[in-house]
Chain A
Amino acid sequence: NAGVTQTPKFRILKIGQSMTLQCAQDMNHNYMYWYRQDPGMGLKLIYYSVGAGITDKGEVPNGYNVSRSTTEDFPLRLELAAPSQTSVYFCASQTSGRGTTGELFFGEGSRLTVL
């Protein structure tokens, strides 16, 4: 029962470095999302995808890029890391079509610190 798997769980970056947060789901969900969670600020949508080859910006996309080459994977890339990107990042997925309930399945999160 893997569900949504995120790697790495923790990472420290220096300002200006780049990295990719990996996300994979094994539930054959079409919809996938990246959120960031800052203390006391809830979850903010960074990017989302409704299927392989299709991505779109969310609420806070600046400084990030995504790709969706397969149904299973939805990596999030940070270019030129900045202290403002220190946060906990969550990947989530959801089924689509007639079975949609609005329920998102979340990974365990990736805690990123930029120094």
Chain B
Amino acid sequence: GQQLNQSPQSMFIQEGEDVSMNCTSSSIFNTWLWYKQDPGEGPVLLIALYKAGELTSNGRLTAQFGITRKDSFLNISASIPSDVGIYFCAGLYSFGNEKLTFGTGTRLTIIP
């Protein structure tokens, strides 16, 4: 099946730093989504991207849909304590085949 490689697996940063993470696929997707999972909770959607090359922001978060449709990037600027959690990318090939493929996650820890 399709696989999404997400990197880095974990990050330890100080409050105020910027964060970058990415996701690469062995095959193309037509939709990329980024989810965040807080401890003890289910994932929640942060940003959805529907077009190759698209750059979308949600507050301090910015995500990009790679031109090749095989990758996506998420940046978080000026990190704050509530950014702690696990970030997942997910790809969807086509609507009508509604099975998302999830990446392995990036665990973000903020050092006081």
Q: A102-B48, A106-B43 are in contact. List 17 more A-B contacts (CB 8 A).
A: A35-B102, A42-B6, A42-B88, A42-B103, A43-B88, A45-B99, A45-B100, A48-B99, A58-B99, A96-B98, A100-B95, A102-B31, A102-B95, A104-B43, A108-B41, A109-B40, A109-B42
A-B contact count (CB 8 A): 59
Residues 62-112 (chain B) with a chain A CB within 8 angstroms: 88, 90, 92, 95, 98-100, 102-105
Residues 21-78 (chain A) with a chain B CB within 8 angstroms: 31, 33, 35, 40-45, 48, 50, 58-59
Q: Are A42 and B102 interface neighbours, CB within 8 A?
A: yes
Q: Are A94 and B103 interface neighbours, CB within 8 A?
A: no
Q: Given A102-B92, A104-B100, decide whether A90 and B42 contact each other with a Cβ distance below 8 A.
A: yes
Roughly how many angstroms separate A6 CA and B40 CA in the complex, as a whole number? Answer: 13
B33 at the interface (CB under 8 A from A): yes
Q: Are B42 and A92 interface neighbours, CB within 8 A?
A: yes
Q: Please, could you name 9 A-B residue pairs with CB atoms under 8 Å apart, sorted by A?
A: A33-B99, A40-B104, A42-B105, A43-B43, A90-B42, A104-B45, A106-B42, A108-B41, A108-B42
Interface residues on A, range: 20 to 34
A84 at the interface (CB under 8 A from B): no
Q: Are B41 and A43 interface neighbours, CB within 8 A?
A: no
Q: Are A50 and B41 interface neighbours, CB within 8 A?
A: no
B59 at the interface (CB under 8 A from A): no
Chain B nearest Cβ from A30, distance in angstroms: 9
Q: Are B98 and A50 interface neighbours, CB within 8 A?
A: yes
Q: Are A59 and B98 interface neighbours, CB within 8 A?
A: no
A42: contacting residue among B42, B92, B98, B104, CB under 8 A: B104
